[in-house]
Amino acid sequence: MLADPQSLEDFRQLLKAAPGPDGVALQGARDRNGQLTKPPGALGRLEDLAIWYAGWRGDPRPRIEAPQVIVFAGNHGVTAQGVSAFPAEVTVQMVANFKAGGAAINQLARVAGARMDVHALELDRPVADFTQGPAMSEAEALGAIRVGWQAVDPKADLLVVGEMGIGNTTSAAAIAHALYGGEASDWVGRGTGVDDAGLVNKTRVVAEGVARHARDGVDGIGILARLGGREIAAMAGAIAAARMLRIPVILDGFICTAAAACLEATHAGALDHTVAGHLSAEGAHVRLLEKLGKAPLLSLGLRLGEGSGAALAINVVKAATACHSGMATFAEAGVADG
């Protein structure tokens, strides 16, 4: 069994000591890719995806049979500042909807052939409003990271982490601003649909939070605790646990990517086992992905969260490995290889 992080410092050390891809499997997959019945490079990014996946799984001819989607939910004290177009009660109501199978992510997980788990994190106890103090104490952040860590099925062969949390685009914008600087307005978007006045207010809230919490010596994990939320910390924990288990991860939208960015800021390379599933319509997602050097697989104008864009991208990664592992080589098919 994968040992839990015992403290935030332990979590930092685990990130640093995490395994890389299997070099032999990577080379085997590259060699196989060069022999498949297609002009070199003709499957575009599907080829890179299949090789990347093979390296992390340690298998030059892998199959995807057990994808897992995990949705984490959390509530945010910063909603008291009027930063969302929807009331905070929607978080608990949507959790009931996930459990009843009625949300978009239930349908998308089913289409992708993925198992889906839902973890609601202390919804009756929102994290603190970060304009007033740290969103979470170290102990609270660790607790949420551990929920995410333990939620990953060691037998899964592909992972999507998604979230539900009214107010969490404010938290994600504050994380991005704290990690990458610029102006607060560079990172703030409309979330569930705030109007122009709402956007101005949200920008002020993000600027205040970052001015209060982003100081020299506060790393990605420190930022995660001070400006994040339980569902955001849980996503970070799950992404890190997947790395220990060599399970490739597909990142979802703006909030999921902000959670992931906290890991990369703490230890460069911590996201090498991840791909960006899609580009969210939340304005700053494109900037965040650029900072991480990740090109999204899909761009469909989604801005839902829940893991929806990443769940759609499971089908793309599955298609990439199906081609890679199922296609005949030139020699097997008796096709002239130019």
Ligand X SMILES: O=C(O)c1ccc[n+]([C@@H]2O[C@H](COP(=O)([O-])O)[C@@H](O)[C@H]2O)c1
Ligand Y SMILES: Cc1cc2nc[nH]c2cc1C
- Active-site residue list: 306
What SS3 state is found at 249? strand
Binding part of the chain for ligand Y, among 27-35, 235-243, 277-285, 301-309 by CB under 6 A, reads 301-309
To ligand Y, the closest distance from the beta carbon of 229 in angstroms equals 13
To ligand X, the closest distance from the beta carbon of 73 in angstroms equals 8
Residues 255 and 232 sit within 8 Å (Cβ to Cβ): yes
Which residue's CB atom is positioned nearest to ligand X? 305
Can you spell out the DSSP letters for 76-119?
BGGGGG---SS-THHHHHHHHHHHHT-SHHHHHHHHTT-EEEEE
Residue 163 near ligand X by CB under 6 A: yes
DSSP class of 332: H
Residue 304 near ligand Y by CB under 6 A: yes
DSSP class of 253: S
Residues 137 and 225 sit within 8 Å (Cβ to Cβ): yes
In sequence order, what are the residues at sequence separation of 6 or more whose Cβ sits closer than 8 angstroms to the Cβ of residue 210?
174, 177, 178, 184, 227
Binding part of the chain for ligand X, among 107-115, 128-136, 158-166, 220-228 by CB under 6 A, reads 158-166
Separation in Å, CA 62 to CA 55, 257, 324: 9, 26, 8
Within the chain, what is the greatest distance between any pair of CA atoms? 70
Strands (DSSP E) contained in 135-245 are 158-164
Per-residue mark of binding to ligand Y, 70-109 (x: CB under 6 A): ----------------x---x---x---------------
Amino acid at 168: N
Residue 206 near ligand Y by CB under 6 A: no
Q: Which is nearer to ligand X, 81 or 170 (CB)?
A: 170
Residue 280 near ligand Y by CB under 6 A: no
CA nearest to 324, candidates 55, 59, 62, 56: 62
Residue in 177, 285, 294, 318 binding ligand X, rule: CB under 6 A: 285
Residue 253 near ligand X by CB under 6 A: yes
Residue in 305, 313, 314, 325 binding ligand X, rule: CB under 6 A: 305
Rg (CA), the chain: 20
Residue 169 near ligand X by CB under 6 A: yes
Residue 209 near ligand X by CB under 6 A: no
Q: Which is nearer to ligand X, 156 or 173 (CB)?
A: 173
Residue 305 near ligand Y by CB under 6 A: yes
Residue in 81, 131, 170, 192 binding ligand Y, rule: CB under 6 A: 192
Q: Which is nearer to ligand X, 68 or 168 (CB)?
A: 168
Residue 280 interacting partner from ligand X, ligand Y, none (CB closer than 5 to 8 Å by kind): ligand X
Amino acid at 44: G
Give the interface with ligand Y as residue ranges (CB under 6 A): 86, 90, 94, 164, 192, 304-306
